[in-house]
Structure 1
Amino acid sequence: MSGLKIEKTLGLAQLQDRGRFGVRHLGVTQGGALDWVAAGWANRLLGNDADCALLEIPFGGVSLLCQQRSTLALTGADLQATLDGQPVTNWQSFRVAAGQTLAFGPARSGARGYLAAPGGFEAPRMLSSRSEVRREQLGGLHGDGSPLRQGDLLRMSDATPAPVAVPPHHIPDYLAPVCLNVILGAQIALFSGQSLFDLFNQPWQVDQRADRMGLRLLGKTLRYQGPPIISEGIPLGAIQVPADGQPIILLNDRQTIGGYPRLGALTPASIARLGQCAPGEQLRLKPTTRDRARAQRAAIVQAIAHAPLASLS
């Protein structure tokens, strides 16, 4: 049996697809690729279904031994990828041969890279998804949420479609200033006026306390002035404010309900961009409308599905 053998890992890389839906009433969260835009382009480069499982690689530190020929695709963060020591260009597909080593170093821009294989990496479906959620012991290569380990084998097809690239104007600039759009809602009217001013008129710093469940922001203290909140369902990108007044943006592996007051939620495009923010990075928040958020998401989905790819042959 052949594929990609994991020779080195920091214990952070994992298999993800679009996520696990229709099970939140059971207390099961969705999982899925944090940067759905980069993941979508990686699968598109190989002609894969949008829900094919791929490898999410946070912050590099991964080395893979190719045990067969194939064509792979790489998008997302610049992880200084090399194939047998030679640089691999990001945001395009490329051929590999048996015996070659694909390695990823520290991120130069962005935080998470996405590696796709023809037809997706093989893994068991758990509740209709292969996405790994470690807290819930679901999904991933072994189906139990356990992390990828040295010696694991990622099985894949040996198909070798011609290499292609994402058009340059569709490639995000992860070094540009980060401004995330927020759809207002929930308990926003119960925060002080000064807090609402501070929310949108100061830079926020990504805290070290950040993972796939949520990402804490550091800045001026936000003050909630309303009554206690009864726990309620939490959408992806929800911005909660606990007692310390520092907002937490909830991500793909979040709990399904929570009782902290909420300011609203990030738009889908901003959630993807946040997935490429590293601890210590600064960002700003900006209010927007549901209609604009829907239109932006629709435009991205349309581009991933139908934009002409650049031939590299």
Structure 2
Amino acid sequence: MKRLQVEASTALCQLQDAGRFGVRHLGVTQGGALDWVAMQWANWLLGNALTAPVIEVALGGFALLAEDDCVLALAGADLQAHVDDQPVRPWRSFRVSAGQRLTLKQPSQGVRAYLAAPGGWLAESVLGSCATVMREALGGVDGQGTALGKGQRLGFVGGTPALREVPTALRPSCEAKPVLDLVMGAQLGDFSGLSVFDVFNRDWTLDSRADRMGIRLLGPELVYQGTPMISEGIALGAVQVPADGQPIVLLNDRQTIGGYPRLGALAPLALAQLAQCMPGSKVRFRPVVQEQAWQQHQAYLERWR
């Protein structure tokens, strides 16, 4: 086993994988990497299973000291990573020698970076996943749902793969104002005509009130005209509209049921884009139907086959 020790961390530095499935009937949420695309590329760089555990680092503030020589991989946001005083760009694997320090600082582009180790980071599986969900005290290295903390030791048992990088043409872009595909559905037709127009023709600003459960959007007030709802199951990416008329995009750590009307749900690729948007940035929605979103998703997955 090879090990690294955490020298600096925040509550936003967590162990994640693809998420926890088949347990929502128990009231247990999904968890998992918010930017699933970057997570999979980080694992691809090392020849791992694409869903192997990675470290999700949001907004920097993370440092590791290597106890052994190793090869790691980084994908997603550019958090000005350095090995000692040498910069490390994302979307590639790199070597770290025993005694060297890997640091991830403030973002210069994007929000979340994903750090992978050969074979995946070792962690206890809880309900089929090591995904950290702090609210439910599930997952993480110790299975108790805690973020990575200073002094904690992380291990992996993979080999020493050859260095590689993601081709430039395949790297997701961090657009200044991304257009997010919204699969229409749920109660969209029960909003006023002006509200439906505004959803797809106005800018929406990401509020600072955002976490792994959901992101509030600020913009024109949306008016729901339908009847009161009974609580329903909540899908990943669901865009619900509470009484103040400001949408909330529900993410991996969302509640399992809810009674607010919904415009629909973001497509998987749109969720990965949203995960890299800073508070205060602007986005727009583009309407798509389920079949279209499914075809786009399958076409993207072909890149790894």
Q: TM-score range by the shorter chain?
A: over 0.9
SS of equivalent residue, structure 1 residue 225: coil
CA distance in 2, matches of 1:33, 1:70: 23
Contact between 1:2 and 1:153, CA under 8 Å: does it hold in 2? no
CA distance in 2, matches of 1:125, 1:140: 8
CA distance in 2, matches of 1:54, 1:2: 15
Counterpart of 2:107?
A: 107
Letter of the aligned partner of 1:58 in structure 2? A
Counterpart of 1:35?
A: 35
Contact between 2:208 and 2:279, CA under 8 Å: does it hold in 1? yes
Contact between 2:29 and 2:252, CA under 8 Å: does it hold in 1? yes
CA deviations 1:119-176 (Å, max 9, x no partner) are 0000000000010000111001110101211001111136211100101111112144
**Which deviates further from its counterpart, 204-213 or 173-182?**
173-182
Question: What TM-score comes out, normalization by structure 2 length?
Answer: 0.98
Letter of the aligned partner of 2:148 in structure 1? L
Counterpart of 1:181?
A: 181
Q: Following superposition of structure 1 onto structure 2, how do residues 188-207 of structure 1 map, counting pairs within 5 Å?
A: 188-207=188-207
Counterpart of 2:270?
A: 270
Counterpart of 2:57?
A: 57
CA distance in 2, matches of 1:62, 1:300: 30
Contact between 1:3 and 1:156, CA under 8 Å: does it hold in 2? yes
Contact between 1:71 and 1:158, CA under 8 Å: does it hold in 2? no
Question: What TM-score comes out, normalization by structure 1 length?
Answer: 0.96
CA distance in 1, matches of 2:92, 2:2: 23
Listed as ranges, the gaps of 5+ residues in structure 1 are 307-313
> Does 1:96 pair with 2:96?
yes
CA distance in 1, matches of 2:139, 2:168: 34
SS of equivalent residue, structure 2 residue 136: coil
CA distance in 2, matches of 1:163, 1:58: 25
Residue 301 of structure 1: how far off its partner (Å) = 1.5
CA distance in 2, matches of 1:233, 1:166: 37
SS of equivalent residue, structure 2 residue 126: coil
Residue 299 of structure 1: how far off its partner (Å) = 1.8
CA distance in 2, matches of 1:208, 1:2: 38
CA distance in 1, matches of 2:285, 2:94: 37
Letter of the aligned partner of 1:7 in structure 2? E
SS of equivalent residue, structure 2 residue 144: coil
Residue 80 of structure 1: how far off its partner (Å) = 0.4
Letter of the aligned partner of 2:26 in structure 1? L
Counterpart of 1:235?
A: 235
Letter of the aligned partner of 2:36 in structure 1? W
Residue 177 of structure 1: how far off its partner (Å) = 2.6
Residue 2 of structure 1: how far off its partner (Å) = 4.7
Residue 292 of structure 1: how far off its partner (Å) = 1.6
CA deviations 1:92-119 (Å, max 9, x no partner) are 1111111010001101111100000000
Contact between 1:69 and 1:160, CA under 8 Å: does it hold in 2? no
Letter of the aligned partner of 2:300 in structure 1? I
Contact between 1:24 and 1:256, CA under 8 Å: does it hold in 2? yes
Letter of the aligned partner of 1:275 in structure 2? A
Residue 86 of structure 1: how far off its partner (Å) = 0.7
Compute the RMSD of aligned alpha carbons: 1.0
CA distance in 2, matches of 1:149, 1:42: 22
Residue 259 of structure 1: how far off its partner (Å) = 0.3
User: Matched residue pairs, number?
Assistant: 305
**Which deviates further from its counterpart, 18-27 or 286-295?**
286-295
Listed as ranges, the gaps of 5+ residues in structure 2 are none
CA distance in 2, matches of 1:114, 1:22: 25
> Does 1:244 pair with 2:244?
yes
CA distance in 2, matches of 1:76, 1:209: 22
Contact between 2:182 and 2:267, CA under 8 Å: does it hold in 1? yes
Contact between 1:130 and 1:139, CA under 8 Å: does it hold in 2? yes
